[in-house]
Amino acid sequence: MAGYTDNYERDTYGIIDFWVRNNFEHGEFFDREISHHELELARANQQMVDRMGKIFKKTESKTGDIGLIIDEAKSSTKEFADLLMHTMDRALHCDVIISTPTSLLDHMIREAEEAERVFKLIETNSYITPADATLHENNFWLRQMLDHLLFISHYVDASNYELHDQVRAMTRKFENLLLQAQALKTIIRRPRNEVSPVLNTFNQMVIKEAKALEAFKLELSELIKACAAVTTAPPDLLEHIAREAHHLWKNLEDQVVN
Ligand SMILES: [Fe+2]
Ligand SMILES: [Fe+2]
């Protein structure tokens, strides 16, 4: 599958690459949805895309000082998050012409904030226990997975009745998984010195479902790329969210936040 980087190397360069590429692609997707009435916003967004593109060229070649790359990744991510937050505020006041749903702006902001957290973890070389790490990953990413299914419904044309049914069934499944993740966060209290059997069972269930979701997204991606599905999704969007599903189950297997 050309271009699908599900198996990026999980060294420090690889982790920074994942997050910077994530924001870079958000900028590219957003670019398609800004009205020509919003030239200033389009230009500011384009500058972000250019800036982040330069960083992940460096992380891809695995050259350059990690400290400097993280500084640059941190400041560009923050600036991008600020631009999205400002846009979301304008959207809430019906003061901007874009076709991006407000919940999708919020989704991208949350991923930018998570990127900032991960950069900080790398910088401070922090250790997170396997139980804390998997509870965090489940709580953060299951909400994102649920959003992805809602966004698939948004982009896939209403005429795809069978597909909408399928997406709805998966949405229900991920709603349940998210609720369970939220419940376990308070049921399993700190200090969390072990991955208890209950947490382990849940993690294994999420790993299985995230793998199935990744496969579904890649299948739909093939259809969209071949222009064989009626949709307004950007061509690379399904690969983007498949990579995030992969990121979730891989982090659960490794019991880390990154
Ligand atoms: Fe993303
Ligand atoms: Fe996402």
Q: How far is the CA of 112 from the centre of ligand 2 (A)?
A: 10
Same domain as 108, residue 137: no
pLDDT at 118 over 70: yes
pLDDT, tens digit (0-9, with 9 covering 90-100), for 64-85: 899 999 999 999 999 999 999 9
pLDDT at 25 over 90: yes
> What is the pLDDT confidence band of residue 58, given thresholds at 50, 70 and 90?
confident
Name the domain boundary from 95, 126, 157. 126
Q: How far is the CA of 193 from the centre of ligand 1 (A)?
A: 31
How high is the pLDDT of residue 146? 98
Place of tokens 């959207």: 91
pLDDT, tens digit (0-9, with 9 covering 90-100), for 163-200: 999 999 999 999 999 999 999 999 999 999 999 999 99
In one-letter notation, the amino acid at residue 230 is: V
Report residue 24 as tokens.
């870079």
Separation of alpha carbons 53 and 129, rounded Å = 33
Same domain as 135, residue 102: no
Same domain as 63, residue 166: no
pLDDT at 3 over 70: no
Same domain as 248, residue 159: yes
Same domain as 146, residue 73: no
- Count of domains observed in the chain: 2
Report residue 177 as tokens.
């998984």
Q: How far is the CA of 21 from the centre of ligand 1 (A)?
A: 9
Ligand positioned closest to the Cα atom of 27: 1
pLDDT at 140 over 80: yes
Same domain as 148, residue 79: no
Same domain as 240, residue 116: no
Same domain as 160, residue 241: yes
Same domain as 82, residue 28: yes
Separation of alpha carbons 241 and 31, rounded Å = 18
- Cα angle, residue 170 at apex, residues 255 and 85 outer, rounded to 5°: 70
How high is the pLDDT of residue 64? 86
pLDDT at 2 over 70: no
Domain, as residue range, for 116: 1-126
Average pLDDT, the chain: 96
215, 143, 129: which is closest to 176 by C-alpha? 143
First-residue to last-residue Cα distance in the chain: 24
Q: How far is CA 232 from CA 99, 103, 189, 224, 245, in A?
A: 11, 17, 44, 9, 21
Enumerate the β-bridge partners of residue 98: 34
How high is the pLDDT of residue 227? 96
Neighbours of ion ligand 2 (CB under 5 A): 144, 244
pLDDT, tens digit (0-9, with 9 covering 90-100), for 205-214: 999 999 999 9
CATH number for position 144: 1.20.1260.120
Name the domain boundary from 126, 159, 191. 126
Same domain as 104, residue 164: no
Same domain as 239, residue 204: yes
